[in-house]
Amino acid sequence: MLDFKTIDLANNPNAVVHTWEEALEKTQEPNLRIAHKGKEFPFGAEVLMIQMIGRWVSQQKHQSFHTFIQPPQTGVIEDYSTVQLKKIIASDWGYILLSLLRNQEGYIRRTDNSIINWNEVESIIREKYEQFQAPIKRGEQGQIKGRCASLICVEPTQSRLDHFYFDDGSLRPESEFRNVLEKIYAESFRMKASNVSDQNLHRRNEMLEDTAAVLYELFENTDKWGNKNFQGEISEGTRGVQFKDQIFSGGSEGPLKTFATSMKTNKYIQLSVFDTGLGLVQHWKKKPIAELSIQEEHQACLECFTRDFQMGDKKGLKRLREVIDKRKGFFQLRTGRLFLYYIGGERSANNQIILKDFFSQTEAPTQLPISSGTSYTILIPID
């Protein structure tokens, strides 16, 4: 049985991501036990877990896998009531896990090994699904509570989030994504324009424009590529966006901590875009990762970023880099066998973009187990 403890990922994501992914790579274990404690994930950690969940579900060759929920305070597996299930589904990773399991006709088992009927969970999943539409839909379910908002789509049963798209299936324009963030800023950040001084209004609006552009264009890329196989067909999986304001409290050792300690603020906007599809390099090279060496994969990733950053038309990665440079932000990328990061404004001696390895903190790649899809996470300081 695979045992994941979210508290470990929350406390030290860098130290556990390699261990968990190695366990996924070495086993086809159909049983996953997750011990969950409701601690907020640090920067970029939850999307890493979502990618691992996506891989675990996709690698099952039969439909007899199940999930156990283990509360860490007791150290034993307990039967979860509807209220307790709601707590799990209330998290992005929990909602995605149960949605993917349901699509694959998997199981959730109680302590006595009896199966929880999906009828007991269906209404809870639907309620959470409605909340993911909330920032656009705005209704009784539409109040954003706390300091974050997520927009998530699970294929195939929820192949379209109704309010992301027009009736013809085309993605809504960037201006409407800006309106989404305007509402999030007003409710989550309490940054209503009427409450901001004239002195800060211009900076607020600039921040809004920057984050809206990144949100739209990265989601546009994810919508185009993140749920497709090599034949261009829609495949099972998930894709989405997380947006939150976050106070950085240290976290694990590594490049993120080095970056954060050099800043004058501990308040940040975190924006994550993720999918569990083929991943950046496989789409770029149009061939499986297994046919590439780690050096070729790393070079392909750099080529993709260099082309978009230096010769693109302000789509996706180019706009992303511009915003990170302008805002002096931090960026991490997990895709294929790579885990890379970028600090806004950093260049090599010949003025080339530097995407460093997360573990060695150099340009030499560390080979990790293959991830499910791609996750981009951006940390932008708030003055």
User: If you average pLDDT over each of 157-161, 165-169, 215-219, which comes out highest?
Assistant: 215-219
Judge contact between 237 and 58, C-beta under 8 A: yes
Q: Which two tokens stand for residue 204?
A: 């607020």
b/e sequence 345-360, b meaning 16+ C-beta within 10 Å: eeeeeeeeeebbbbbe
Which SS3 state, helix, strand or coil, does residue 186 take?
helix
- Whether 169 has a pLDDT exceeding 80, the answer reads no
Judge contact between 272 and 377, C-beta under 8 A: yes
Would you state the torsion angle of the CA atoms of residues 320, 158, 29, 288, taken in this order, to the nearest 10 degrees? -50
Encode pLDDT of 95-135 as tens digits: 888 888 888 777 787 766 777 778 877 877 877 777 665 54
Instruction: Please state, for a pLDDT cut of 90, what percent of the chain lies above it.
Output: 7
Which residues are CB-contacts of 172 (< 8 A; sequence separation ≥ 6)?
Answer: 164, 165, 166
Looking at the chain, the number of H-run helices and the number of E-run strands are 12, 11
Q: What is the 3-state secondary structure (H, E, C) of 201-223?
A: HHHHHHHHHHHHHHHHHHHHHHH
Which residues are CB-contacts of 271 (< 8 A; sequence separation ≥ 6)?
Answer: 211, 214, 215, 241, 242, 243, 377, 378, 380
Helix (H) or strand (E) holding 275: strand 267-275
- Whether 310 has a pLDDT exceeding 50, the answer reads no
Give pLDDT, residue 291.
93
Q: For 81-95, what is the mean pLDDT?
A: 76
The lowest-confidence range among 68-72, 177-181, 204-208 is 68-72
b/e sequence 16-32, b meaning 16+ C-beta within 10 Å: bbeebbebbeeeeebeb
What residues does each domain of the chain span? 2-381
* Chain centre distance of CA 189: 21
Encode pLDDT of 182-238 as tens digits: 776 765 555 555 555 666 677 778 888 888 888 887 777 777 777 777 777 777 788
Encode pLDDT of 12-57 as tens digits: 777 788 888 888 888 777 888 777 766 677 788 889 999 999 888 8
Judge contact between 95 and 110, C-beta under 8 A: no
Which SS3 state, helix, strand or coil, does residue 338 take?
strand
